[in-house]
Amino acid sequence: MTSLTFPPGFRWGASTSAYQIEGALDADGRGACVWDTYTAQGRIQDGSNAATACDHYHRFPEDIALMKAAGFDSYRFSIAWPRIVPAGTGAVEPRGLDFYDRLVDALLEAGITPMACLYHWDLPQPLEDAGGWQGRAVVGPFADYARIVAARLADRVKEWMMLNEPNVVAIHGYGTGEHAPGHQLGDTGILRALHHQNLAQGAALRAIAAEHSGLTLGTVLNLQPSVPDSDRPEDVAAAARWDAVWNRVSLDGVMRGQIPPLLAEAMADFVLPGDEEAIRYPIDLLGINYYSRMTMKHEEGHPFDVWWGEARCRRWTGMAWPVQPEGLYDLLTELRTDYANPAVFIAENGCAYDDVVADDGQIHDDERVLFFREHLEAVAQAAREGCNVKGYLCWSLLDNFEWAFGLSKRFGVVRVDYDTLARTPKDSYRFLSSVAKGGDK
């Protein structure tokens, strides 16, 4: 077995997002977001909602104590836009800012470095009503919100991520309709949502940089190698198309200011002169969310005439996602060789399984431990070969509201009992803790 050794100063921690854990959706003047609307439409598979979720809004001290006890030194959380600017534009809600102020102080007190993500999918509903990510009207409000939050917190929060997975927002929010706001606007709708997120990101990066120096600015992308299901030319072309949509619009947008050539024609209607400069930014740190490879084939009737092929792997997670740690190694290697080896960190990696609470009250989640071990080996190997990887944040600290799956899919290293809200660390928590503390090598 490869040893789990990492470069000096390698950072360890967890990621969460506001909507998935906070609850308290009506507290302290928070406005409505697209996920509130989508949930109220009855579109969550298990009929649950995020009204309470993990009640992190009130229980964050306990959650921070869990991270500290694990030996985690870093934590990525997201700030809920509708808590800060409830109507998307206009009045700022001071009680929303106060909450993140308390959270940040408590993290620092615990010796945990806060990393704030500005957008983990909770678009204020009034902005969606005005066109959402389909148009440019959202760009200015996002930059304003970024400036407001940074003005309050950047004296203590030094690491800022703009977006989380713009591809998933675009594809599922505006293409398949499986995520809020639940539109099915075809290929053009997906590309519009991607491009306008790129523009908003560029504007927010510049807005924050203009106000504060010495910050680490970046964004978080879900990057997953797209491989063809067969060597038939139409499958090879489908995988390349999917790579352009899923990975390259976002990655090449920020890193190179480039629209993928494969998509240039399809995007010509709404990419204006100057946009490529506006979306490019020399970020300091790139967060990567990795779950699996994507095996794709040509099939009409789906976005971009691409559909899932047969993933060749030995195991699947409880989401029926293939377990393919070698894809993470390939991805890190590609960033090193083809993108000038940027500073990166794993911002999410993890898995859902149908956890069982054993007679001893514990959760012996061996499959999740194995998942983490194999992916950490892939990261360690890439780092040994020179990849500039700075740290690893698991997804997720807590079981939480897994979007359209509701509370039915558990990704946490800490179990949440949704009746009592009791937290129980799983074996996977102890495993990551031992690696973070340097005891498991």
What residues act catalytically? 165, 348
Is residue 165 within the footprint of ligand GCO (CB under 6 A)?
Answer: yes
- Among all residues, whose Cβ is closest to ligand GCO? 165
Cβ closer to ligand GCO: 144 or 402? 402
Q: Which pair of tokens denotes residue 369?
A: 């431990």
Would you count residue 164 as binding ligand GCO (CB under 6 A)? yes
Q: Write phi, then psi, for 286 (nearest 5 degrees).
A: -115, 120
* 197 annotated to bind ligand: no
348 binds ligand GCO (CB under 6 A): yes
- Structure tokens that stand for 132 in this block: 């959402």
Answer yes or no: is 172 a known binding residue: no
Output 127 or 404, the one with its CB closest to ligand GCO. Answer: 404
> Do the annotations mark residue 403 as ligand-binding?
yes
CB of 291 to ligand GCO, least distance (A): 6
Q: Binder to ligand GCO among 38, 392, 395, 429 (CB under 6 A)?
A: 395
x/- contact string, 291-330, with ligand GCO (CB under 6 A)?
----------------------------------------
100 marked as part of a ligand binding site: no
Q: Which stretch binds ligand GCO (CB under 6 A): 45-53, 161-169, 184-192, 237-245?
A: 161-169
Q: Which stretch binds ligand GCO (CB under 6 A): 57-65, 164-172, 234-242, 383-391?
A: 164-172
CB closer to ligand GCO out of 32 and 163? 163
Q: Determine the Cα–Cα distance for residues 222 and 114; give it in Å rounded to an integer.
A: 21
CB of 347 to ligand GCO, least distance (A): 8
DSSP single-letter state for residue 220: E
Tell me the β-bridge partners of 160: 116, 217
119 lies in the binding site for ligand GCO (CB under 6 A):
no
Positions in 168-207 near ligand GCO (CB under 6 A) = 168
Give the residue with the Cβ less far from ligand GCO, 303 or 350.
350
Residue 20 annotated as lining a ligand binding site: yes
Residue identified by tokens 């009592």 is 420
In the list 226, 402, 407, 425, the residue contacting ligand GCO (rule: CB under 6 A) is 402
Q: Cα separation of 211 and 81, whole Å?
A: 19
Query: What six digits make up the tokens of 31?
Result: 């406005």
Residue 289 touching ligand GCO (CB under 6 A):
yes
Cα 54 to chain centroid distance, Å, stands at 18
Whether the link from the prior residue into 396 is cis, omega within 30° of 0, is yes
What six digits make up the tokens of 339? Answer: 């993108």
Residue 402 annotated as part of some ligand binding site? yes
Q: What are phi and psi of 398, to 5 degrees?
A: -120, 150
Q: Of 154 and 254, which has the nearer Cβ to ligand GCO?
A: 254
Euclidean distance between CA atoms 171 and 294, whole angstroms: 14
Structure tokens at 422: 């009791």
Residues 7-46 as x/- pattern, contact with ligand GCO by CB under 6 A:
----------x--x--------------------------
Task: Please list the alpha-helical segments (H only) found in 154-248.
Answer: 166-171, 186-211, 233-243
Phi, psi angles (nearest 5°) of residue 28? 55, 40
Q: Which stretch binds ligand GCO (CB under 6 A): 69-77, 163-171, 244-252, 363-371?
A: 163-171
**Residue of 321, 327, 307, 317 lying closest to 229 (CA atoms):** 307
Question: DSSP 3-state assignment of 434?
Answer: helix
Chain-centroid distance, C-alpha 417: 24
DSSP result, 64-92? HHHHHHHT--EEEEE--HHHHSTTSSS--
d(CA 126, CA 133): 12
Q: Is position 341 annotated in a ligand binding site?
A: no
- CA–CA distance, 172 with 181 (Å, rounded to integer): 9
User: Could you tell me which residues are annotated as the binding site?
Assistant: 20, 120, 164, 291, 395, 402-403
Give the footprint of ligand GCO on this chain (CB under 6 A): 17, 20, 164-165, 168, 222, 289, 348, 395, 402, 411
User: Could you tell me which residues are annotated as the binding site for substrate?
Assistant: 20, 120, 164, 291, 395, 402-403
